[in-house]
Structure 1
Amino acid sequence: MSALAAILLAQAAPAVAEVPLPMPVGEEMTARIEANDAKLFWGFFEACDPEMVAPMLHPDFRMIHDLVGLPASSAEKFIGQARKNCDSRKPGQPNEGYKNRRLLVPGSRTIGKLGEWGALEEAYHTFHEWRGEEIGWVQTGGARYLHIWQWMPGEGRFRLLESLSLDHGPAPRYPPATE
């Protein structure tokens, strides 16, 4: 071995074994899941930035949707579909200027621990589309969802493992009918 190689080898930092981090519980777990939920839906809807969301998905992610079945059997497929969707909103593309958003229904979310490995999030949300300055945002529907978040001890974070999206329906009448 050359002298230079020996010096460089001696100066190299020793490999540090990752210390698995314990899964947070209680308020810390809830806060992390709530933050993930906000970032996830912001990234897929308003920001339309699949690259921002990709690291949040477990490689084995899958989504089950009550209206279409299994639209994504992996994180890679799901992110690929999102890229196509977002690209179609760019100038000169078929959905140029399309904007949509998702809003969590306040008070509908529950988050529970799944053993020592994850968490189950369940909530309701509504969907909205931008209809221009004169009309603004219009609620177009709503649904319920269940997310299974797997704790990744070596990464110190939760990743979305599975999404079950169900009970999709039209937007409720607003204002509600009076009796």
Structure 2
Amino acid sequence: MTLTAAILFAQAATALPAAAEAPMPTGEAMTSRIEANDARLFWGFFEGCDPDAVADLVHPDFRMVHDLVGLPLTSGQQMLDQSRERCAARAPGGENEGYRNRRLLVPGSRTIKPLGTWGALEEAHHTFSEWRGEELGWVQTGGGRYLHIWQWMPEEGRFQLLESLSLDHGPAPQYPPEGAG
């Protein structure tokens, strides 16, 4: 055995054991983690306008498929960069200074299902609103449905958003509904 091989063998024999991989949570534990991630994610990219606060939720290989525009995002970095630009435009002196929008989950519309021990599928409906000033307040501008694929990262013990399918976008429904009395 050469000296180099002996040194490498000795280093391997004394190396610290690898960190234990965390098993993917199941049942209510999985559901509550995905729900918390969803709330943080949409706050960071919409109303809170702080993408850096939620960057840890976005997988580097993230991609988004959208029914109105096709494939608008092909990486987690692209998603973060575009959001930073939009948030900067809302800041004082920006071209959209003062713009505010909000995303709200439609209560009762969410389902979360495991994808083996690899990840989870989240599906729900949500609505979008824009702030129109003190006189009008928040005005619902539309809504849609989404499917998120959350990959379990066992080395880190957390889920990251790998893919988003954003579908069924449309105008805000009339409220109160026609004929309501």
TM-score normalised over the length of structure 1: 0.91
1:16 is displaced (CA, Å) by 5.2
Structure 2 residue runs without a partner (length 5+): 1-14
- What is the match of residue 47 of structure 1? 48
- What is the match of residue 76 of structure 1? 77
- What is the match of residue 94 of structure 2? 93
CA distance in 1, matches of 2:16, 2:176: 62
TM-score normalised over the length of structure 2: 0.90
User: Is residue 28 from structure 1 mapped to residue 29 from structure 2 by the alignment?
Assistant: yes
TM-align CA RMSD = 1.0
- What is the match of residue 163 of structure 2? 162
State the identity as a percent: 71
1:163 is displaced (CA, Å) by 0.3
- What is the match of residue 128 of structure 1? 129
- What is the match of residue 113 of structure 1? 114
CA distance in 1, matches of 2:98, 2:17: 48
Give the residue type in structure 1 aligned to 2:71.
L
1:72 is displaced (CA, Å) by 0.6
CA distance in 1, matches of 2:128, 2:151: 26
1:29 is displaced (CA, Å) by 0.2
Indicate the SS of the match to 1:31: helix
Indicate the SS of the match to 2:90: coil
Structure 1 residue runs without a partner (length 5+): 1-13
Runs of 4+ in 1 over 6 A off after TM superposition: none
Aligned length: 166
Give the residue type in structure 1 aligned to 2:145.
R
CA distance in 1, matches of 2:148, 2:58: 11
- What is the match of residue 10 of structure 1? none
1:15 is displaced (CA, Å) by 4.2
